[in-house]
Structure 1
Amino acid sequence: MEANPSIMLAHTSNLRMNLLSRLHLALSSSLLWTLCGVASLSLPAQSQDPNSFGHQSWSTENGLPQNSVHQVFQSTDGYIWIATEGGIARFNGVDFKIYNPESTPEITSDDICCFTQSDTGPLWIASSDGLLQYSAGTFRRYSIADGLPPNRITNLATADNGSLLLLTTEGLVSFSGSRFSSISLPSFSIPSAITKAHDGSIWITSNSGIFQYLHGRILPLPLSSTSTPKDIQSIGFLPDHSLWLRTGTSLTLLQNGHSRTLTTGHDLPVSRIQSVLAGSQGVLWIGTDRGLFALDKIGNHPQSVSALGSDSILSLTQDKEGNLWVGTETSGLQILRPKNFRTIPGLSDHLITAITQASDGAMWVGTDGDGLDRLQSGNIQRLSTHSGLLSETILALAPGADGSMWIGTPDGLNHIESAKIRTYTSADGLPDDLIRSLLSDEDGSLWIGTRHGLAHLQNDRFVTLTHSDGLGSDLVGALLKSHTSNSHDLWIGTLDGLARLRDGHITTFTKKDGLSGDTITALAEDPHGTLWIGTKGASLSALTTTGFISLHRNDLPKNIDSILQDDRGNLWLGSSRGIIRVSAAALIKCGLLSTCDPHPVSYGRVDGMPTEEAVGEGHPAAWRTTAGLLWFATRKGVAVTDPTHLAENLVPPPVVIERFTVDGVDMPLTSTEQRIAPGHTSFAFEYAGLSYVAPAKVRYRYLLEGLDQRWTDAGSRPIAYYTNLPPRHYRFRVQAANNDGIWNETGAQIVFNVRPPFYRRLWFLPLVLGLGAVVALVLYRLRVRRLQSQFQAVLAERNRVAREIHDTLAQSFVGVSVQLELTSQLLAHSQTDAARKQIDQTRTYVREGLAEARRSIWNLRAITAQNSLPTRLTRLADQWSQKKLGTHLNISGTYRPLAQPFEDEVFRIAQESLANAARHASATQVSVELRYDATRLLLWISDNGSGFQVTDGHLSANGHFGIQGMRERAAQIHAQLTIESSPGKGTTVTLEAPITEGKEAAVNA
């Protein structure tokens, strides 16, 4: 789109007026266009020569996808969008981001036509095969399937009702956001161009007139038959709301009743006009197939812009900062920036040492090896040794009376007056031939700084002051005569301090007195009487009524070679880092406080300087002319600026966050708070300040709310890093300042929340306490269960011991007791022999009881048995057989060892059964059968004794617990014990015990 100029609306009724004597507007009902203002296409006074603009270009070598630029457009967020035949490029002033079919699936064609955007809507992009919508970092494509006509789109515009107008090869189409609709012009007119006016309406040109699209209606603006040229390709508005109309070979300006038509081959030495833009400064820019032209007044001749040469210009756009963007057909993207400095032709190859202005207005420029130049009325006169100078290396200049000039060289002093040159050397009284500085006094005398002191030339006599007279050093540099103090002090810069000559007395000041440094390189005095002192390596100092102030700041150059002041109270400091402009009052106010920003502005090559090395090896290295211009010596010529007409950039730069990564992974750039999972350590934020006047001079500061206490000055670094952020809510904010120090204090921000690990969340502590309580309860219950188990084990052991005692010691003691009673009776009847036999039998019982006791004690100490169950039963059967109890033992089945406690219980049951049969049932024969089955062990014991009546009461009758013990033992091994008996029929004891793998495993363990 070529231009977005403005037009004024006025509502009246049934009126017609003549538009610039050719354009007649006939509007229905109450709408009338009134074009106001004096029609003068004039350049404002502060505007610059079109050829004084700075120029920069980008092509495919710099990242542009393709060199044919069809349109350049600035979106509402500040980005520059470039339509090429190789895709879309988005530019932030430093880097291009490319969108094409390879990187973006929604883009199906590389051939991009144009852009448009409303103040609050998305960005619309037309390509050769469809329509694209870009919003919040995502693309959406509209094609024929969505209702888009198949015709090629040639231009776009957003209307006042929010709809989108598409100019296609077959007509106009409106898009409401949901459906496409064709728009028909009256009388079957064919539209050829559209543009948007300031009021939001769309102006449409056609083969039969001009129309206005307003509030969804087409309003005809008919022209007379000779009012406009045919085949209009674009339309636009001049700053005073007048019209321009472009065809391929002509440009018509309709202004205040007058018109002018520029044609190719006559007014423009070109074949085709391809784009037009009415700039904000009043210049009409004309892009052609053979370069760019500028028209500053309607009656003037278009002027060629030499910076672009004969490049074919396809599109023109001006951004919010006033930069002119130029899209070319083969040379890529170009930009023209307003420059604050200009150079002097003819001096660009010279290393300038000193500059001054004579009383006749002529400028004198000294060089290093190229002599002396005098500039006046555009003419340059060069003086050298051939003209009578002692040397072609000029170290110092000072204006004399009546246009004369004093020149200091390494070989002596020169005085030029009325084209005559007079020379002075050490032979004439100079302390040294190398002249470092000169100063003309009001009384006509001359002060001369040398390596061997300060010389004063008055009435052709030299008087020299040296270190012995109070100078800090004999090496004298900058000189300044104060005009604000009553005593008219002479200030002398030396290698070792600043000296003041007052009433014939010299006082020297050094760092001990408050100076930032002792090597003085530049001196200047402002109207308020403040003395500004430049130093080498220690920046700037100031002497006020309260004393010296050291201004050794990081935002000022360390080496200052020249100091000038303009009428606005700004200091201009020349250094090897360029030229710095800063407010003198702000410097005094801030002092050395790093938190205080005096907003210094730096100038370099991008501002028109020939080089950033504004270093003059002589004095004075800078000069303010009587017209207020500032001249600075550089290593590549002279840099000149007008401080009253600076192209200041007062537009705060839009700030965008382009990338947010967590451990190298891209996060979405949304306005809502993002949740970051715990465990991440590295956070990076990439941002950009979208200022295009001097992108390299954009400065940043950022703050991470939730962590940082104050802003971090990032300088020109467009990225911020953080590591190991504690879990909490954060807001990252970034602000940017443009080249003139104007800050966008709103900036950009992104909000995120680093989630804590689960063990640091609020619910975790109650959960841990609850789990701890559950674990404690479980442990308590396990402890109680273990104690109960131990108690049961002790109780079971006690019962087992009781059974052991009953089955062994108790039976033995009973037998002993019976034998002793028999012995007692026999002795009572004097049957000594029988009593002796009973005593022997008693001894046998005692020995047997002791053996059983020892065996029980051994079983208590050693859990394992010495023999298997069959062996032990065989031994038991043999013992009872010897006691006249016939015992028959039968063992069957497949033997396998079982757990020792299991076999012990079976053996004790068998032992108890045999003992009962012999002692209580008086049996003579007992049959014992032990059978091993696959899953059970069967023990069967049958005797021919007296038998008994099996009842529960009988179990513990008379304190006998044998049968009760047998049942308990059977229960210990989960066996079934059956006792069958009746009086006179003997007793049968059956034990059936299950055999499991567990028991067998226990044996082997």
Structure 2
Amino acid sequence: MKNRPFSLFNITCLCSLIIVFLGLSSAASWGESYRVEKWSVAGVPTYDVGQYVSAKGLPQISIKSIVKDNNGFVWLGTENGLARFDGRKFEFFNTINTPELGSNWINALFLDNTGRLWIVTGVGLVSFDDGKFEAFSANFDDKPIKQVIADAKNAVWVITDSLWSLQGDRAKPYSYADITFTNSYYDSRNLWLLTTQGELLQTSLTSSVQEKCRYPIGAFANAERLLVQKDTVYILQKQKLHRFTLSSESCLFKTMPAFAEIKFKSLFSTQNGGVVAVSDKGQLLDISSEAEPTFNSLTPFVDNNLLLDNSVLLNDEETWFLGTKANGLVIYWKTNVRRVAPTQNISSARIWSFFAREDRLYTATNKGVFESKSEDDWSLIVPPSAVEGNDAYSIFEGNGEFWVGTRRGLFRSKNGASQFEAIPEFTGLQINTLYQGEDAFYVATTKGLFQFDGVDFKSVPLFEKQSVRSILTAKDGVLWVGTESGLFSQTDGKWREVELLNGTSVFASSLLELNDGRLFVGTYGQGLLMLDESKQWRSFNIKNGLPFQNFFSVTTRGNKLWLSGASGVAYVEIDDITDSHVKSTVVLRDDGTFSARADLRCCNGAGNLRSIVFKDTLYLPTLNGVVAVQKSENHELAARTIITGVYVDGKRENNYSNRINLNTKRNAEIIFSRPIFSAESVPEYRYRLDDSDWIYSGSREEAFLAKLSAGETVFEVQSRIDGEGWLPGDAIVLYVTPHWWESNWAKLVGVLALLAVFYIIYRLRIASYRQRNEILEARVNERTAAFERVNSELQQKNKALEEAAITDPLTGLYNRRAVKNFAPKIFEAVNAKTEQQDASDGVEEVCAIFLIDLDNFKQLNDTYGHDKGDSALHHVGQALRTVSRNTDRLIRWGGEEFLLVVPSINPNDIGEFNKRLHNAIATLHHVLELPKPITMSIGATKLPWDDCMLDSKVWEHAILIADWALYQAKNNGRNTTIFINAFKEMAAWTDWSVNGLSNAANKGLLLSTSLKNKSDD
């Protein structure tokens, strides 16, 4: 598809919008043979705040419904099939590869609270869950389905113009069936039903319908849309938006003023609980419960005609999915990359290089030299006519002279004159770089390097006929020169060629020195080279962290190393550069993933100043204007790798979860994906069978498995983003039915036959072995010794495995399975002390039990992610370990709970020991980079109960008491410790529930004490 007309976009923000399609698949071609089709997007940053891309590859461009499932995939219902979208490709489902659909006409999609997808087709209802499509033959009186709701697998409700309970394949009308509904809305808590009698019903759905309120808001028989957000109802009818505020306590409502001046086309809810509406002019408006509508931030950048094209809108965080009737899928997201001055001539120029002097920024282009007064104000100061119509390729200003290197010569202007003189020595040469060194002015060309002493130009003999690209004078005085065939340095007037990559020819495109003295060489084809502090060269490429390895420019901004070239723009955290690996993040990708960016290919040509940081903004040259990269943080890329399909003999298996039976087929194709939206990143994958070595798949999202063994084979796949660590992904068990000769009985018969043959041979030859009996006995003794040695090694390994079985892998502490190992020893020690103390008057030692639970840990996980939560658990475990003694037992009890058993402690020391526990984690939030300290609640008790002997039953009851104490600590505001002193009468106690323990406390059998958390200053 060609670019859309310029008039469709806000002229102050947009330069062009490119929507690229690879070609529509016809109904005959998008079946089994074309189940997964790649798509390309036109993701050119043409405006200030975002990307605007159009997806190609849908089975049909009319999108009727959009939902996003719990795995991160976007599902699209069209008039010619169902599509699943992961941000890079579509996977199609139709009646050819998915007969369960019954029809390719998809009317609606719903996602219930269990994560199950419901598909309303032209002939019925279909569900998709855990890789399995299931068709339902239930009849709903041929009425259109408006809503499908499920809070549990066995409680499914369907709303047409009445209410139905779906039980298996049977649809049962509910008692509400005598009321006709015009619209419905479900907000995960309440089902809202709009009736023809002018009532809005607020109900809850469990195993039955429970009505909460009825609001007589008036007749809305022709309402197109119903939304309920918080306490406000929005109803769209005949392009008019009606709003009501509700009080569920009194079941009263209040009519809000209408927006009389605005006509509305459609109405949608957003992820954050907001409401957006499309006006009859195609404007996207934010609707609040009180204020007047305001323009949504997407409004200036979206094609109004698309919003009016019977569109469906899905908002997911900062990404918008716009499904249209005639234009397929359009996606919008925010970005920190934009093209500057979209309305000026520079926006269509081929940009070659930059030069900055104080507050002036210049750029050399095929339309002359431009000067920037602000980011969006670029004026032409050297027209092409001044340099004989040539492309301005490089620039330098200094000492009252202005130099312009072109692709066919060098020109100079003195003292601000508007006229430029051509330098005869460079006629016909491309001037790659102009550089002011310490002792001379250098001109780098495609046929050599020249020095200018203020009067004459002298050629450097070493570089005759070489294409010189980049020049840099290092802090130690070394002059570095990069050419298309290698890297050279000059020290004390002597030139030498630097050997790189074992003598392989290197295109040294860009040179950069950091403040710490490290030298970086950007190359075209060989990635990034680094000369470290020890003067050793290090090489980085796509195998050890780079996203691509063709670079035209290397520069720095802040603590980031920016790399740009024909494949896009990325940055590397300087602090993350090691001797063998770098961590990179892609900001703009042009490696074929976004094929419409050919005219915005970044950083054209190699040489000095092919990118520049000016006033804290990174500027990059392209074939179609200047790209500016502002400072912003990339958002986290969620979602995990999911196995999305299994194909056997080219046919999709649609009924599987984590296991699939291949019968006797030995070959299979596995399709997998990691959903990624609003990002330039492309996932990398690896997979393996059983516990074999990982196979690197790159960006290929499929694996072809051949000659699978009979029985079970586990296929496992993982992914990573931007060179990060590999993340756990998905797995599936493939079962191949064995042939008869592979069956167990056939193998048994074969083994028995083989044993019989061996036995006969043995009996025939045993006589000849008698004379070698002594030798055999010696060998047997040797083998026996060897077996004993192996057995000893196996015992050691078994011991290590046993230790691993009772160890928590995250924290390194004992897990719950370890309790049964050390509990009997504690019983013996406590009982022995009890007997000794009965015969003495000394201070008794007791066994103390501390049940520890981290406060608000779910909030920490939800706010900062599970990686941060895992790190917090690990650090807390290590901190508690430093407080405990070697004889103590510290256990990760489960989740964020820890159990600390102190076998022997003076009762008077328990309070001080508790303070040390709380103090141990008081400063962990600094280590974890959290804004608030981590706190914990503790339930504690001691054993024995007076002179009561300790056994497994008393032990279990003591744990329950500690858990009850922890419950009290949580109820008392957290970050506290409740100590319970139990008396021996508890040994006969029978009710160990929470209420039972409360009763025991009321009877004085359990005494609670609140212990201080921190030591006094």
TM-score using structure 1 length: 0.58
- Aligned pairs for 1:812-851 within 5 A: none
The one-letter code sitting in structure 1 at the alignment partner of 2:54 is Q
Corresponding position: 1:492 with 2:484? no
Corresponding position: 1:139 with 2:134? yes
Which of 701, 707, 716 in structure 2 is aligned with 1:718? 701
TM-aligned CA deviation for residue 375 of structure 1: 3.5
Percent identical across equivalent pairs?
17
Tell me how far apart the structure 2 counterparts of residues 284 and 420 of structure 1 sit (CA, whole Å): 60
CA offsets 1:376-413 (integer angstroms, 9 cap, x no match): 343332244566345531121245589x9643224655
Aligned match of 1:233: 225
Contact 1:290–1:313, Cα closer than 8 Å, also in 2 = no
Contact 2:643–2:673, Cα closer than 8 Å, also in 1 = yes
- Aligned pairs for 1:589-738 within 5 A: 589-591=579-581, 603-604=589-590, 606=594, 611=599, 613-617=601-605, 619-620=607-608, 622-642=610-630, 644-645=631-632, 647-648=634-635, 650-661=637-648, 670-671=656-657, 682-693=667-678, 697-705=682-690, 708-709=692-693, 711-727=694-710, 729-737=712-720
CA offsets 1:235-288 (integer angstroms, 9 cap, x no match): 1549xx977654442457899999998969x55xxx6512324366x9965446
Q: Secondary structure at the residue paired with 1:310?
A: helix
CA offsets 1:853-880 (integer angstroms, 9 cap, x no match): xxxxxxxxxxxxxxxxxxxxxxxxxxxx
Contact 2:113–2:152, Cα closer than 8 Å, also in 1 = no
CA offsets 1:546-604 (integer angstroms, 9 cap, x no match): 224242634554532111333343x332222333444445553435xxxx986767612
Aligned match of 1:992: none
Tell me how far apart the structure 2 counterparts of residues 769 and 406 of structure 1 sit (CA, whole Å): 88
TM-aligned CA deviation for residue 703 of structure 1: 0.9
TM-aligned CA deviation for residue 732 of structure 1: 1.0
Q: Secondary structure at the residue paired with 1:275?
A: strand
Distance 1:578 1:518, change over 3 A: same
Aligned match of 1:153: 145
Provide structure 2 residue ranges, at least 5 long, that are not aligned to the other structure. Answer: 1-44, 248-253, 761-1017
Provide structure 1 residue ranges, at least 5 long, that are not aligned to the other structure. Answer: 1-46, 779-1005
TM-aligned CA deviation for residue 56 of structure 1: 0.9
Contact 2:233–2:246, Cα closer than 8 Å, also in 1 = no
The one-letter code sitting in structure 2 at the alignment partner of 1:767 is V
Give the alignment's Cα RMSD to 1 decimal: 4.9
- Aligned pairs for 1:962-977 within 5 A: none
Corresponding position: 1:70 with 2:64? yes
Contact 1:516–1:540, Cα closer than 8 Å, also in 2 = no
Corresponding position: 1:217 with 2:210? yes
Q: Secondary structure at the residue paired with 1:95?
A: strand
Higher alpha-carbon deviation: 615-624 or 650-659 = 615-624
Distance 1:683 1:116, change over 3 A: closer
Aligned match of 1:375: 372
Aligned match of 2:267: 275
Q: Secondary structure at the residue paired with 2:611?
A: strand
TM-aligned CA deviation for residue 705 of structure 1: 1.7
CA offsets 1:483-515 (integer angstroms, 9 cap, x no match): xx3x4654332355434456x645534226978
Aligned match of 2:443: 448
TM-aligned CA deviation for residue 112 of structure 1: 3.5
Aligned match of 1:890: none
Which of 328, 332, 340 in structure 1 is aligned with 2:328? 332
CA offsets 1:424-445 (integer angstroms, 9 cap, x no match): 6546x989975321235699x8
Tell me how far apart the structure 1 counterparts of residues 285 and 503 of structure 2 sit (CA, whole Å): 52
Q: Secondary structure at the residue paired with 1:547?
A: coil
The one-letter code sitting in structure 2 at the alignment partner of 1:218 is E
Aligned match of 1:892: none
Corresponding position: 1:366 with 2:364? yes
Corresponding position: 1:435 with 2:435? no
Distance 1:386 1:251, change over 3 A: same
Which of 733, 744, 759 in structure 2 is aligned with 1:751? 733
The one-letter code sitting in structure 1 at the alignment partner of 2:637 is L
Contact 1:88–1:98, Cα closer than 8 Å, also in 2 = yes
Tell me how far apart the structure 1 counterparts of residues 203 and 426 of structure 2 sit (CA, whole Å): 83
- Aligned pairs for 1:548-563 within 5 A: 548-551=536-539, 553-555=541-543, 556=546, 557-563=548-554
Aligned length: 689
The one-letter code sitting in structure 1 at the alignment partner of 2:472 is L
The one-letter code sitting in structure 2 at the alignment partner of 1:81 is W
Contact 1:73–1:317, Cα closer than 8 Å, also in 2 = no
TM-aligned CA deviation for residue 648 of structure 1: 4.0
The one-letter code sitting in structure 2 at the alignment partner of 1:541 is L
Corresponding position: 1:579 with 2:569? yes
CA offsets 1:158-195 (integer angstroms, 9 cap, x no match): 45898444443x34445566764536599x79553414
Contact 1:684–1:719, Cα closer than 8 Å, also in 2 = yes
Rg larger for: 1
- Aligned pairs for 1:107-122 within 5 A: 107=101, 111-122=105-116
Contact 1:394–1:409, Cα closer than 8 Å, also in 2 = yes
The one-letter code sitting in structure 2 at the alignment partner of 1:491 is W
The one-letter code sitting in structure 1 at the alignment partner of 2:568 is G
TM-score using structure 2 length: 0.58
Distance 1:744 1:276, change over 3 A: farther
Distance 1:475 1:690, change over 3 A: closer
The one-letter code sitting in structure 1 at the alignment partner of 2:563 is L
The one-letter code sitting in structure 2 at the alignment partner of 1:630 is L
Distance 1:768 1:550, change over 3 A: closer
The one-letter code sitting in structure 1 at the alignment partner of 2:386 is G
Contact 1:364–1:375, Cα closer than 8 Å, also in 2 = yes
Aligned match of 1:800: none
Aligned match of 1:856: none
Tell me how far apart the structure 2 counterparts of residues 745 and 74 of structure 1 sit (CA, whole Å): 22
Tell me how far apart the structure 2 counterparts of residues 153 and 212 of structure 1 sit (CA, whole Å): 19
Which of 501, 507, 520 in structure 2 is aligned with 1:532? 520
Distance 1:405 1:649, change over 3 A: farther
Q: Secondary structure at the residue paired with 1:563?
A: strand
Aligned match of 1:196: 187
Contact 1:64–1:96, Cα closer than 8 Å, also in 2 = no
Distance 1:288 1:548, change over 3 A: farther
Distance 1:208 1:393, change over 3 A: same
Distance 1:434 1:422, change over 3 A: farther
Tell me how far apart the structure 1 counterparts of residues 758 and 154 of structure 2 sit (CA, whole Å): 70
TM-aligned CA deviation for residue 674 of structure 1: 5.2
Distance 1:668 1:379, change over 3 A: closer
Tell me how far apart the structure 2 counterparts of residues 313 and 82 of structure 1 sit (CA, whole Å): 16
Contact 2:146–2:183, Cα closer than 8 Å, also in 1 = no
